[in-house]
Amino acid sequence: MTKKEKIIVFDTTLRDGEQVPGCQLNSKEKVEIAKDLEDLGVDVLEAGFPISSPGDFNSIVEISKNVKKTIICALSRAVVMDIDMANLSLKDAKRKRLHTGIGASDIHIKYKFKSTREKVLEQAVSAVKYARKYFDDIEFYPEDAGRADQDFLSKMVEEVIKAGVTVINIADTTGYNLPDMYGEKIKFLKNNVPNIDKATISVHCHNDLGLATANSIAGLQNGARQVEVTMNGIGERAGNTSLEEVVMALHAHKHLNFRTGINTKKIVPLSKKVSKLMNMPVQRNKAIVGANAFAHSSGIHQDGFLKHRETYEIIDPEVVGVDSSSIDLTARSGRAALSHRLSLLGITLSKIELETLYTKFLEMADKKKLVHDEDLYELVKKKK
């Protein structure tokens, strides 16, 4: 097998993720999460949008002072004042990146900017040229690239690369694309933009159709080498691509031959911290980090799982920092799960005793939904 290719993980929990109403963090909390993200192994950390508020500006300053190895990135529009602020906010960063851009779809150009393709392109190029006086590392986002005209998008990408951009972010801002469309878009740019080899293509997907992870992976399969993600998929509307989903999909599908620098064992602990600090609960059935991600509740699954874990699990929970899988006792559980739980509690029953207890257990489970260890002790006591 050839050497695995590194996928650059660009985390935007503190910028795109933090835009969610009610999720705002103070500087101290942001620094804490930034240090954890560095520890997790993200390559680039988007710390905020400095022109948006003094609080965001200060958080970027503090993050820059506290994070040592990870590239710290600040967002700007393709506007001189934004770029100046981004540069100021990153003055203490050991490694800094500017993330600048402008709308590329006709709907953005016409309604948001009331402008023309030509003028928007000119603004993009002159912003990048201006930013070059401060930054060697410049990422450019053609906003709403997901719905942009293919030829205009290609032209914009070519021109901003000529002006000095080294990372080009193909933002599916509205989460409109299907995986094959998004994959084709990346492939088209890769094959048709003459200077594309001078930049890394980044995928930035939103989850409006629940396709952010699928689209991001399709982009990687078609030539992108950076993926933009947030912890728990937090982000505006239906959210951004989840860090944990992409990282574990690449981990589970070894044939893709991709690797990331993420220490997967730190995923679930950090997911819990982000959820708590941002006051944003994680749905129970969320892939990888939801409370039910490694919980088995139906009799058939429990029986198979107890015989061999991999019958019903594609990821070992320890790999993402969960101590063990769990077997929930519900009215759908079978005798195998009940007897397994009893044995963990040190209770051994004969076959007939187990049968009697199982009938009682089902009666209780129908009423209670979830049967706990204390309930089992109670049932065993009553039976005696």
- In the numeric block, the tokens 């990346």 are attached to 186
Contact positions with ligand KIV (CB under 6 A) in 292-331: none
Residue among 176 and 305 whose Cβ is closer to ligand KIV: 176
Q: Which positions from 70 to 89 touch ligand KIV by CB under 6 A, shown as an x/- string?
A: -----x--------------
Shortest CB 359 distance to ligand KIV, Å: 55
Q: Which positions from 10 to 49 touch ligand KIV by CB under 6 A, shown as an x/- string?
A: ------x---------------------------------
- DSSP-assigned letter for residue 318: G
Task: Compute CA distances 373 → 195, 329, 350, 360, 383, whole Å.
Answer: 64, 9, 19, 14, 15
Shortest CB 109 distance to ligand KIV, Å: 14
What does 286 bind: ligand KIV, Zn ion, none (CB cut-off 5 to 8 Å by kind)? none
Per CB under 5 A, which region of 12-20, 30-38, 155-163, 333-341 contacts Zn ion?
A: 12-20
Question: Which among 208, 243, 247, 209 has a CA at the least distance from the CA of 228?
Answer: 243
Total number of residues that touch Zn ion (CB under 5 A): 1
Shortest CB 85 distance to ligand KIV, Å: 15
Contact positions with ligand KIV (CB under 6 A) in 130-189: 141, 143, 169, 171, 173
The dihedral over CA atoms of 277, 281, 283, 284, expressed in degrees to the nearest 10, equals 90
Residue among 174 and 325 whose Cβ is closer to Zn ion: 174
Residue among 16 and 82 whose Cβ is closer to Zn ion: 16
Strands (E), the chain: 5-6, 8-11, 44-48, 71-77, 96-103, 138-143, 167-172, 200-205, 226-229, 258-259, 295-296, 326-327
Contact 130, 165 (CB under 8 A): no
Shortest CB 46 distance to ligand KIV, Å: 9
Question: Which among 118, 206, 132, 115 has a CA at the least distance from the CA of 169?
Answer: 206
Question: Which among 355, 359, 361 has a CA at the least distance from the CA of 378?
Answer: 361
Among 108, 185, 204, 341, binds ligand KIV (CB under 6 A): 204
* Distance, CA of 242 to CA of 228 (rounded, Å): 9
Task: Compute CA distances 51 → 79, 80, 95, 155, whole Å.
Answer: 10, 11, 20, 28
Among 10, 11, 13, 16, binds Zn ion (CB under 5 A): 16
Residue among 226 and 330 whose Cβ is closer to ligand KIV: 226
Indicate if the alpha-carbon torsion angle 95, 187, 7, 266 is positive or negative. positive
Shortest CB 375 distance to ligand KIV, Å: 48
What does 141 bind: ligand KIV, Zn ion, none (CB cut-off 5 to 8 Å by kind)? ligand KIV
CA 57 to chain centre: 24
Chain residues that interact with ligand KIV, rule: CB under 6 A: 16, 75, 141, 143, 169, 171, 173, 204, 206
Chain residues that interact with Zn ion, rule: CB under 5 A: 16
